[in-house]
């Protein structure tokens, strides 16, 4: 690491007129002496990638009977499907069979 001779901040690599120099972002000092500077970057690769193939339901759950399978629990949410002066439509999704129905 190289530090600025004027303010002591860290110098960063910079290209000026096609030449590599070290520049201070704080005071603008430019050092052309980069013989002792080693510019490198360490990248840590991670081969662990988690794949989630299960859909995660984020809606609230309530007691509502599914008209298709008779299951007694369903997710629910509200959506404005008509004019703004009309009440919102309530949608239900069966926890067991994923059947969706609505109530006004």
| Residue 63: per-residue pLDDT | 95
Q: Is 85 a catalytic residue?
A: yes
The HSE-up count of residue 97 (CA atoms within 13 Å, CB side) is: 11
| Residue 20: per-residue pLDDT | 80
| Residue 97: per-residue pLDDT | 94
Closest CA to 92 of 82, 84, 67, 83: 67
Tell me the two tokens of residue 22: 């070290």
Which one-letter DSSP state was computed for residue 87? P
Does the pTM surpass 0.85? The reply is no
| Residue 44: per-residue pLDDT | 81
Mean pLDDT of the chain: 85
Q: Tell me which of 45, 85, 95, 103 is the catalytic residue.
A: 85
- Domain architecture of the chain: domains with CATH: 1-38 (2.20.25), 60-103 (2.20.25.10)
3-class DSSP assignment, residue 103: strand
Residue written as tokens 């006004």? 104
Query: What whole-number percentage of the chain has pLDDT above 90?
Result: 32
Q: Tell me which of 5, 33, 57, 86 is the catalytic residue.
A: 86
* pLDDT tens digits, one per residue of 34-83: 766 666 777 888 777 777 777 777 889 999 999 999 999 999 999 998 88
Residues in the chain: 104
Q: Is 48 a catalytic residue?
A: no
């Amino acid at each position: 690491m190289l530090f600025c001779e004027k303010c002591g901040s860290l110098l960063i690599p910079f290209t000026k007129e096609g030449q590599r120099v070290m520049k201070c972002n704080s005071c603008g000092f430019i050092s052309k002496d980069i013989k002792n500077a080693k510019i490198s970057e360490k990248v840590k690769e991670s081969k662990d990638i988690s794949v989630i193939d299960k859909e995660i339901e984020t809606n609230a759950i309530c007691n509502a009977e599914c008209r298709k399978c008779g299951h007694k629990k369903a997710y629910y949410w509200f959506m404005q499907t008509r004019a703004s002066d009309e009440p919102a439509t309530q949608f239900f999704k069966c926890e067991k069979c994923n059947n969706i129905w609505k109530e006004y």
